[in-house]
Structures are given as C-alpha cells and as structure tokens.
Amino acid sequence: MTTSTRVGTAALRRTTSFRVRSTDASNAAAVPDSGLKRTLGRVDLIAMGVGTIVGAGIFVTTGIAAATKAGPAIMLSFVLAGVICVLVALCYSELASMTPVSGSAYTYTYSTMGEVPAFLVGWNLLLEYAVAAAAIAIGWSGLFGATLSSLFGVTLPKAISGGPSDGGVVNLPAVVIVGVLVAVLVFEVKVAAAVVKTLVALTIGVLVLVVAIGVPHLHGGNWTPFMPFGVHGIAAGAALAFFAYLGFDVVATSAEETRDPRRNLPWGIIGSVVIATVLYVAVCAVLTGVAPYPSLNNSAPVATALAAIGAGWIGKVILVASVIALTKGLLMVFYGQTRLVFAMSRDGLVPKSLCRISARGVPVRLSLALGVVVALVAGLLPIGTVAELVNIGALFAFVIVALGVLILRRTDPERPRPFRTPLMPIVPLVAIAGCIWLATTFEALTWLRFVIWSAVGLALYLGYGRRHSLVGRAGTEAVA
C-alpha cells in the first residue's frame, strides 16, 4: 500500500466513531513477554477443534435429525453444513494467519470494523461460551447419572442431581465437573491439550467401532426413499447440523499459545472441520443404513440402531463415550472463553485485573471467576433455560469475520497474508449468505434475546469499555 493510501485510510478511520486498531497494532499487543506460552502444535490444534465439534451430540443429534428432518439424506445435510462451515473457516484462517493473537473473531473485528463492533462480537461470543459451558455441564450430569445407573445400578439422590426447577437443591455433578476442568485449565495449557488429545482419541475410537460394527449390516432398502422430506428436509437438517460445528472458533482463540501460528492455525481450523464432517457423515450413513430412519427418533438412536442388529452391548459403551465427549467439549469451551475474555481485558474493554497471568502462563484469576459463574448457572438452572442463545451469537461472529476478510482485502490489499482465502470474493460472500440463511430459522424470541443482550453489552461498553480502552486512552486509533 502506498504512503498516500495509508494516510488516507488512517484519516478515514480517525474520523469515525469506531476506533479501528490495525493488524500490526493487534500483533504488537501480544508482546513475547505477555505471559502466555507458545506450546501448541498442529496436532494439538486439530484435536482441540475436533474435541469441541464432535461432542456427545454425534450419538444423539444425528439419529434424531435423520428421523425428523431429512431421512437418509441427513448425510447430505451434514455435508452442506460442513461446506458452509469450511467457507467460514477459510475466512477465519486468513485473519488468524495475519493476526495470530488471542481473541479470535473479537480481535479480527477490531482490525476491520472497529472497537464497538469488536466489543459486541466479543460480548456475544462470551455469552455463547458461557451458555454452552453451562448447558454441557448440565448434560454431562445427566449422562453421568445414566452411566452410574446402567453400569453399577447406582442412582443419585434427586436433591443433588438436579437444580431447584427439577425438584432438587443443586446439580452437584455439574458443579463438580466444572471445578475439575477449571483445575485442569489452571495448569499449563499443554496439560489441557494432552487431556483433550487423549479424550478425542477415545471418542474417535468409539465412533470407528460404531462404523465397523454397522457397515457389514448396511441395507440399501433403508436408504429408500433417500429424501423423504424433499430438498427442504436437507436444508432443515443442515440448519440443525450446522450447530454441531460452532466450536471451531476455539482453535482461533489459541493463537497466542501456538507455535508458528501463521502456518498451524489454518491447519487446525480447517482440518478440525473436515475431520468432524467425515465422522458425522460416516455415523449418519451407518445409522440410516442399518435401521429405518423413523426408528431413530429417540434419545439414544445409535444404541437403538445397533441393538437392532444384535449389538445391544454397544449402548453401555456409547454412554461412557458420551460422558467422555462432553468432558472434552466442556474443557475446550472453558478454554476458549478464558482466552476471549483475556484479549478483551488486555485491551481495557473489561477490567484488566482479569488478565493477570500466572507463572505457568495461565490466566488463573479469570479461569476461576468464569468457573464460579458457570458452576452457579449449571448447578441451579435447567438446561432449557441456558441453551437458547448459543447459536445466534456464533453466527453473528461468523458473518462479521467473513465481512472482515472482504474489508481488509480492499483497505489493505498489500499486507502479507500467510494464508489467503481462495476464490475471492465468492468464498466470504457465500459464507455470509449461508450464515444468514441459517439465522432465518431462529424463532422471533431468540432474536429478541439477542437484541437485548447486545443492548446490555453496548451499555457496558459505553459505561466502562470506551473510557478504559487502551486505544482510546492513547488518543489514537493505532492505525499502522
């Protein structure tokens, strides 16, 4: 970019009410002695992404979606959802390679649209992570209780296995698992990554077992008709399936703890989405191939399908695998949440005391504070109340990231890009269209909650963030 162009761009940005921080300034904010340690490699990132995306839902959502949305064509639904997610991941990868620091979509938005949109993206992602963590903890509690009952005949007392709305006092298993995983997180991030890799390997092992048992019993007649709900059913299935992929943002939040992030982040982001898509499609193919799709409309469709071919013992294995899958998913959601708030805290938009780093390179105070909040929500509220806002905030962030790629290609075309989104501008435009299309499936009440939450965030920004912002206090937009 020429000097005159840079000056013109800087002047344009300074005249706006949105303080835009350049990618150079964002990278400079993550100085080498900031405390976070670069210990994660390519395999760690892929495991983290797969660990977040492939949760217990693969044992439940796949069958229910086939029975109620798309029939055997649910395979195409997951392919369609995976394609949209890959397009978003390509946009993420370009921005992540240019700005390999914590914060993911929040940080990228700061460099493309400015401080106010960035705060709103971070605020909505914070809600997504917090709500998802609480919902997963509640689900983990239910599966843990079912596993104890199935394997050992032990039934937990109602008073300690459900919140007040469920007739209990506190959901103790949900609180305990939150505490255990926060304890894992306050060690070095390499410890958390090792735990996740182990749990991911166990989950994939069970999925491979499911596919291996089912393949010899595939019956083509179960795939006829292939699209009983028509093309609309494939689209409806894709809308449901897409939400299984929302967790790949966690990979981007690990940028500051990744070795050679400009090369490894794109591998982690795109690789995890592709691997997860293959796993989901394989499980869908087996389920709909070994059992008529209407029979899969229950809480344990994988176990139901395999029991029909004489493998009823697999039900107990799947229960254990579901607990494992939720454990790793919860750990990764916690991790992403802490790194997002860390980035916002470092920028002054939330209290800076939260981003203090321990000798192990971990934001311990932040991890403990968020853990207490999630434990209280998970221990006292029902899952239906806390699970309604997860998806819309993520789609909002995805659209903003794709727009950011388009903006930076226009405002700063000569900046080095270690990874370049291919087929510009088609990829980001299709990604935006796909996310908006999926967002149209939400109920009006979900949109209303989204607007209210965003309004609360804007009020907090105006009351605290704008006055304490490092960029604002420096009196400059920090444009390169």
Confidence of residue 479 (pLDDT cuts 50, 70, 90): very low
Range scoring the smallest mean pLDDT among 49-58, 363-372, 459-468: 49-58
pLDDT digits (tens, 9 = 90+) for 98-125: 988 888 899 999 988 999 999 999 998 8
Among candidates 442, 446, 434, which has minimal Cα distance to 81? 434
Confidence of residue 477 (pLDDT cuts 50, 70, 90): very low
- Distance between CA 353 and CA 332 in Å, rounded? 23
List of domains in the chain: 18-26+40-473 (1.20.1740.10)
pLDDT of 13 higher than 60: no
Predicted pLDDT at 424: 95
What CA–CA distance (Å, rounded) separates 180 from 203?
20
The per-residue pLDDT for range 330-369, each reduced to its tens digit, is 898 888 888 899 889 989 999 888 878 877 778 888 889 8
pLDDT digits (tens, 9 = 90+) for 236-291: 888 777 767 777 788 888 888 888 888 899 999 999 999 999 999 999 999 999 99
Helix 115-152 to helix 172-185 angle (10° resolution) is 120
Residue 344's pLDDT is 92
| Amino acid identity, position 412 | D
Q: Give the pLDDT mean for 295-318.
A: 83
The answer for residues whose C-beta is within 8 angstroms of residue 187's C-beta and 6 or more apart is 360, 362
Token digits of residue 295:
């029979």
CA–CA gap between residue 470 and residue 71 (Å, rounded): 53
Could you tell me which residue, 436 or 38, shows the higher pLDDT? 436
pLDDT score of 406? 96
Helices 105-112 and 74-98 sit at what angle, rounded to 10 degrees? Answer: 60
CA distance 447 to 388: 10
Q: Return the percentage of the chain with pLDDT > 70, whole number.
A: 90
Q: Give percent of the chain with pLDDT exceeding 90.
A: 35
Paired tokens of 82: 């995976």
Tokens found for residue 336? 């992403």
Burial class (CB in 10 A: 0-12, 13-18, 19+), 473: exposed
Q: 389 is written with which tokens?
A: 């806002």
pLDDT tens-place string over residues 56-89 = 678 778 888 899 989 999 999 999 989 999 999 9
Pick the residue with more confidence: 469 or 354?
Answer: 469
Whole-number Å distance between alpha carbons of 119 and 456: 12
Q: Is the pLDDT of residue 300 over 80?
A: no
User: Which residue has tokens 């939450």?
Assistant: 453
Please tell me the distance from the alpha carbon of residue 343 to that of residue 350, in angstroms, as a whole number. 9
Which pLDDT value is given to residue 444? 82
Write down the residue that tokens 């761009």 correspond to: 9
Q: Considering just the CA atoms, what is the radius of gyration of the chain in Å?
A: 22
- pLDDT of 302 reads 85
Does residue 11 carry a pLDDT above 50? no
DSSP, collapsed to helix, strand or coil, labels residue 300 as: coil
Give the mean pLDDT of 21-26.
78
Residues 6+ apart with CB under 8 A from 232: none
For residue 46, what pLDDT is reported? 93
Count CB neighbours of 170 within 10 A: 18
Q: From CA 367, how far away is CA 54, in angstroms rounded?
A: 24
Whether the per-residue pLDDT at 194 is higher than 80: the answer is: yes
Residues β-bridged to residue 171: 161
- What local confidence, expressed as pLDDT, does residue 471 receive? 84
Summarised one tens digit per residue, pLDDT across range 169-186 is 888 999 999 999 999 888
Residue 45: CB atoms within 10 A of its CB come to 28
- What integer pLDDT is reported at residue 5 of this predicted model? 40
Q: Could you report the per-residue pLDDT of 208-251, keeping only the tens digit for each?
A: 999 999 999 999 999 999 999 999 899 888 877 776 777 778 88
Exposed e or buried b for every residue in 340-369, given b needs 16+ CB within 10 A?
A: bbbbbbbbbbbeeebbebeeebbbbbbbbb
Structure tokens at 390: 């997860």
**How many CA within 13 A on the CB side of residue 168?**
19
Backbone φ and ψ of 469, nearest 5° = -55, 130
pLDDT of residue 226: 95
Given a contact cutoff of 8 angstroms between Cβ atoms, the answer to whether 89 and 98 are in contact is: no
SS3 for 360?
coil
Least Cα distance to 239 among 89, 391, 441, 446 occurs for 441
Mean pLDDT of the chain: 84
Contact call for residues 53 and 248 (beta carbons, < 8 A): yes
List, in sequence order, every residue forming a beta bridge with 40; answer none if it has no partner: 258
The Cα–Cα gap between 92 and 112 comes to: 13
